[in-house]
């Protein structure tokens, strides 16, 4: 199983990185809000989480991409 979570984020004032306001994170299980928050902090320390827009099962998407690139 593969799950994706779309998040709305805001840049921290002290950040010198390029501006982003959306992030998609991938998980191998259904994540809790705390897991999303923790993973976002580890992966993108220059942003703050504003909110989770949606979480969904992306297993089919992942399988289609694997099939495409394995040809």
What pLDDT was estimated at residue 17?
Answer: 87
Distance CA 17, CA 14 (A): 9
Number of domains in the chain: 1
Walk along the chain (71 residues) and give the pLDDT tens digit of each residue.
899 999 999 999 998 888 999 999 999 999 999 999 999 999 999 999 999 999 999 999 889 999 999 98
Residue 31's domain comprises 3-69
Residue 48: in which H helix or E strand, if any? strand 47-57
What pLDDT was estimated at residue 57?
Answer: 95
DSSP-assigned states of every residue in 15-34: --SPP--EEEEEESS---HH
What pLDDT was estimated at residue 34?
Answer: 95
What pLDDT was estimated at residue 6?
Answer: 97
Tell me the two tokens of residue 52: 């989770």
């Amino acid at each position: 199983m593969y799950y994706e979570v779309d998040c709305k984020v805001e840049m921290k004032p002290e950040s010198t990185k390029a501006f982003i306001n959306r992030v998609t994170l991938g998980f191998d299980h259904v994540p809790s809000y705390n897991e999303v928050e923790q993973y976002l902090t580890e992966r993108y320390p220059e942003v703050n989480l504003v909110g989770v827009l949606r979480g969904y099962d992306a297993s089919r998407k992942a399988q289609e991409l694997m099939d495409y690139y394995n040809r």
